[in-house]
Amino acid sequence: MVPTETDTAACCLCDTDSRVPPLTLWRRETSLHYQELQVGHRCHPPGLPRWLHTEQNPYIAQLIKGMANRRPQIRRLAPSWGLSAVLHALAGPPYEPMANASLAALTKKTLFLVAVASARRRSCLHALSTKQNHIRFEGHGVRMVPDPSFIAKNQTLTFLPGDIFIPEIKTMSSVAEDKRWCPVRALKWYLNKTEKLRQSTSLFIIPRPPYAAASKDTLSRWLVEIIRPFTSGTSRPRAHDVRGVAASTALFAGIPVEDILKAAAWKTPTTFVACYLTDTLHAEAAFGSAVMRGPVGNRSHPSGLPPSGSATRC
């Protein structure tokens, strides 16, 4: 039961008014996470009661803070799967050679390579379109423009995420075998194989009749199916991890933070550092560095950003 508009004058945090069920009870019944209430509180969607629409409501602010303390979202400091292991798997059967790969395997490989090369959210990947001029193969790569109706999660009047540009691997490596990990090559194969099958302008389609557009959840499931065999420990693989691992790998390869923010469509480095940065190199060398460092003590992080061992929450 949700309090009605006539009950807004009563305090929803206590049982002083028998007409109003405690807000905490309502929250448990609906199984909402505090972030869902917080986002709804700011965005004012029609599905939430009016008493959640007051920006200056101290009771709501106190409640959300309490929920955050009881159910904190803890950042995983080390990646649960290795990017190199996944890429090596994509270089062999059933994904290669591409001429013999099934449409399902080709779809998953193309999706993963585009996701890891762009570090974009699944909503953006879902919005990629085959409409005219939305996919343009340029001299040394491909430029992809999401559907005009797509509104990014962090899009504002002052911040508009740019197009996606992915370079060809041959512009960075002369090794012939490296082409197996080229997103541009995979995309060309995928577009050619689906040209006469697709019934939708969405880039990624279901690899079976009627070849309809793949949903966001389907894209997430495909990404998880690729990384799950390489997940270590008890960690549950998430499609969103691809974004963090890709950006972290770029950072430790020496790519400036500003370039990473632009490519991944982040407004500020705060979100990247607090919620997505996983110290890939530090995780791989944790044992050796701990033994050799010995009495020397802790040193600053090579990127100049907070060390991966910090108790940062997002």
Two structure tokens written together for 251: 């950072």
Can you tell me the mean pLDDT for 121-126?
Answer: 91
Based on the fold, state whether residues 61 and 83 are members of the same structural domain: no
Q: Give the pLDDT score at 7.
A: 43
Give the Cα-Cα-Cα angle 197, 199, 201 (nearest 5 degrees).
110
Domain of residue 269 covers 77-314
Based on the fold, state whether residues 106 and 22 are members of the same structural domain: no
Number of helices (H) and strands (E) in the chain: give both, helices first: 13, 3
Query: 111-150 burial by CB neighbour count: b if 16+ within 10 A, else e?
Result: bbbbbbbbbbbbebbbbbbbeeebbeeeeebbebbbeeee
* Residue 201 contacts residue 171 (beta carbons within 8 Å): no
Among 70-79, 143-152, 160-169, name the one with the lowest average pLDDT.
70-79
Domain boundary among the residues 55, 70, 85 is at: 70
Q: What is the pTM of this model?
A: 0.65
Show the DSSP H helices in the chain as ranges: 23-30, 34-43, 58-70, 83-90, 103-118, 122-126, 183-194, 216-227, 241-252, 257-264, 269-271, 280-284, 286-293
**Residue with more model confidence, 119 or 142:** 142
Based on the fold, state whether residues 165 and 186 are members of the same structural domain: yes
| 184 confidence band (pLDDT: 50, 70, 90) | very high
> Could you report the per-residue pLDDT of 276-303, keeping only the tens digit for each?
455 444 444 444 434 434 444 444 444 4
Compute the distance between CA of residue 65 and CA of residue 34 in angstroms, rounded to an integer. 8
Based on the fold, state whether residues 309 and 224 are members of the same structural domain: yes
Compute the distance between CA of residue 218 and CA of residue 107 in angstroms, rounded to an integer. 12
| 235 confidence band (pLDDT: 50, 70, 90) | confident
Domain boundary among the residues 39, 70, 101 is at: 70
Based on the fold, state whether residues 112 and 15 are members of the same structural domain: no
| 191 confidence band (pLDDT: 50, 70, 90) | very high
Based on the fold, state whether residues 152 and 267 are members of the same structural domain: yes
Two structure tokens written together for 133: 């001029």
Compute the distance between CA of residue 257 and CA of residue 273 in angstroms, rounded to an integer. 10
Q: What is the CATH number of the domain that holds 277?
A: 1.10.443.10
In the predicted model, is pLDDT for residue 193 greater than 90?
A: yes
Based on the fold, state whether residues 166 and 306 are members of the same structural domain: yes
Number of domains in the chain: 2
Order of strands, sheet of 135-138, starting from the edge strand that comes earlier in the sequence: 135-138, 141-144, 164-167
Based on the fold, state whether residues 66 and 116 are members of the same structural domain: no
Two structure tokens written together for 229: 């065999």
Compute the distance between CA of residue 233 and CA of residue 251 in angstroms, rounded to an integer. 25
Based on the fold, state whether residues 191 and 142 are members of the same structural domain: yes
Give the Cα-Cα-Cα angle 238, 242, 247 (nearest 5 degrees).
140
Q: Give the pLDDT score at 35.
A: 52
Mapped onto helix, strand or coil, the DSSP state of residue 253 is coil
Q: Give the pLDDT score at 270.
A: 55
Can you tell me the mean pLDDT for 149-170?
Answer: 78
- 226 by Cβ neighbours in 10 Å (0-12 / 13-18 / 19+) ranks as buried
Instruction: Fill in the amino acid letter for 141.
Output: G
Domain boundary among the residues 30, 50, 70 is at: 70
| 250 confidence band (pLDDT: 50, 70, 90) | confident
Query: 175-209 burial by CB neighbour count: b if 16+ within 10 A, else e?
Result: eeeebbbbbbbbbbbbbebbeeebebebbbbbbee
Based on the fold, state whether residues 90 and 234 are members of the same structural domain: yes
Based on the fold, state whether residues 153 and 233 are members of the same structural domain: yes
Average model confidence (pLDDT) for the chain? Answer: 72
In the predicted model, is pLDDT for residue 3 greater than 90?
A: no
Compute the distance between CA of residue 312 and CA of residue 273 in angstroms, rounded to an integer. 9
Rounded to the nearest 10°, the torsion over CA 305, 309, 312, 314 is 90
In the predicted model, is pLDDT for residue 71 greater than 60?
A: yes
Q: Give the pLDDT score at 236.
A: 83
Can you tell me the mean pLDDT for 83-102?
Answer: 93
C-alpha closest to that of 313 among 23, 24, 72, 14: 72
Two structure tokens written together for 38: 């917080």
Based on the fold, state whether residues 136 and 285 are members of the same structural domain: yes
